[in-house]
């Protein structure tokens, strides 16, 4: 079991540049979630997918943010025209989703995150 | 908007002491998870509680889900330096939906 994998682990970029992060979920998991965590705070939900369908987006997900999961496996999160306020840890999680029982549906396993610093 | 209030935000204790972290909400959750997070890493799941009144034990850690499924607590007995870290509670409003996290409790255990 390889767990949730996120790349890159760290990204430093200049304001105005575009960045893209990748998440590879646990192989049999249908649901994939993106969260953002700033210093001293708990993670905040951004968006999630059931297979390739994006089911929900948070108000935090501005027009500069876009997420895809084209084949229902890995996902990418792109931030266009980055701002200093985008600096945060971006976390990906996956869960079994509808293929599991109620308890199993809610167990989300997190990757190590991508730390973004916008200069 | 559902919120999870976690307290205390910071806790600094000596090795061997006991502690309790609280997670409260005015809303009902389908389930509640407790995670532990190390600096620069993602949260690692400790336990999931589903049934109101449920108590789960994980070695020196005891987790309780309130009868009304609105609150939870984490109790650590005889804390060790290895328990140091950020403890997060997270609730699922409905099965399979996004998690709502508390702000976390930063625990520091010194020898």
Q: What is the per-residue pLDDT across A60-91, written as a single tens digit (0 to 9) for each?
A: 888 999 999 998 899 999 999 999 999 999 99
**pLDDT tier for residue B94 given thresholds of 50, 70 and 90:** confident
d(CA A89, CA A111): 11
For A33, nearest residue in chain B (alpha carbons) = B98
What are B7-53's pLDDT values in tens digits? 999 999 999 999 999 999 999 998 899 999 999 899 999 999 999 99
A contacts of B7 (beta carbons < 8 Å): none
- Contact (CB<8Å) A58/B98: yes
Surface of A (36-75) touching B: CB under 8 A: 40-45, 48, 56, 58
Question: Mean pLDDT, chain A, as a whole number?
Answer: 92
Q: Determine, for residues B45 and A98 on separate chains, whether the beta-carbon distance falls below 8 Å.
A: no
Question: Span B60-69, mean pLDDT?
Answer: 95
Question: With an 8 Å Cβ cutoff, is A21 touching chain B?
Answer: no
Q: What is the pLDDT of residue A60?
A: 84
B60-67: which pairs have CB atoms within 8 A and are 24 or more residues apart?
B63/B34, B65/B32
CA distance B93 to B111: 39
Q: State yes or no: pLDDT of A105 exceeds 80.
A: no
A98: confidence class by pLDDT, cuts 50, 70, 90? low
β-strand A88-95 against A109-110: which pairing, if any? antiparallel
Q: What average pLDDT does range A28-53 have in this prediction?
A: 94
User: Cβ contacts (< 8 Å) between A54 and chain B: which residues?
Assistant: none
Residue B3 at interface with chain A, using a CB cutoff of 8 Å: no
For residue B82, name the pLDDT band (cuts at 50, 70, 90): very high
Give me the pLDDT at residue B1, please.
66
Q: Which of A60, A106, A113, A117 to mutate to test the interface with B (most CBs of B within 10 A)?
A: A106
- Cβ of A42 within 8 Å of Cβ of B44? The answer is no
Question: Virtual CA dihedral for B27, B61, A108, A56, nearest 10 degrees?
Answer: 20
Of B4, B40, B98, the CB nearest to A45: B98
Among chain B residues, CA nearest to A3: B44
Which has the minimum average pLDDT: A12-16, A86-90, A95-99? A95-99
Question: Is the distance from CB of B88 to CB of B34 less than 8 angstroms?
Answer: yes
Q: What is the per-residue pLDDT for B93?
A: 87
Can you tell me whether residue B30 is helix, strand or coil?
A: coil
> Locate tokens 């140091």: which residue?
B84
How buried is A46 (Cβ within 10 angstroms: 0-12 exposed, 13-18 middle, 19+ buried)? buried
Q: CA B22, CA A2: separation in Å to the nearest integer?
A: 32
Nearest residue in chain A measured CA to CA from B43: A110
Q: Does B24 touch chain A (CB under 8 A)?
A: no
């Amino acid at each position: 079991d390889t767990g949730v994998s996120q790349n890159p682990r760290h990204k430093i970029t200049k304001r105005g540049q575009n960045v893209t992060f990748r998440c590879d979920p646990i192989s049999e998991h249908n649901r994939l979630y993106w969260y953002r965590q700033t210093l001293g705070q708990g993670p905040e939900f951004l968006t999630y997918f059931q297979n390739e369908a994006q089911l929900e987006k948070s108000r935090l997900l501005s027009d500069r943010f876009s997420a895809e999961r084209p084949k229902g496996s890995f996902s990418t999160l792109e931030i266009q025209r980055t701002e200093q306020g985008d600096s945060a840890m971006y976390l990906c999680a996956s869960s079994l989703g509808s293929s599991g029982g109620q308890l199993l549906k809610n167990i989300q396993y997190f990757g190590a995150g991508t730390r973004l610093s916008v200069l | 908007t559902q919120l999870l209030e976690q307290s205390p935000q910071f806790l600094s204790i000596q090795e061997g002491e006991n502690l309790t972290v609280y997670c409260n909400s005015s809303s009902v959750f389908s389930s509640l998870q407790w995670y532990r997070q190390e600096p620069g890493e993602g949260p690692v799941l400790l336990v999931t509680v589903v049934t109101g009144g449920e108590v789960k034990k994980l070695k020196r850690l005891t987790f309780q889900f309130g009868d009304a499924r609105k609150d939870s607590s984490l109790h650590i007995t005889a804390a060790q330096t290895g328990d140091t870290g950020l403890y997060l509670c997270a609730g699922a409003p409905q099965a399979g939906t996004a998690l709502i996290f508390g702000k976390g409790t930063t625990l520091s255990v010194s020898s």
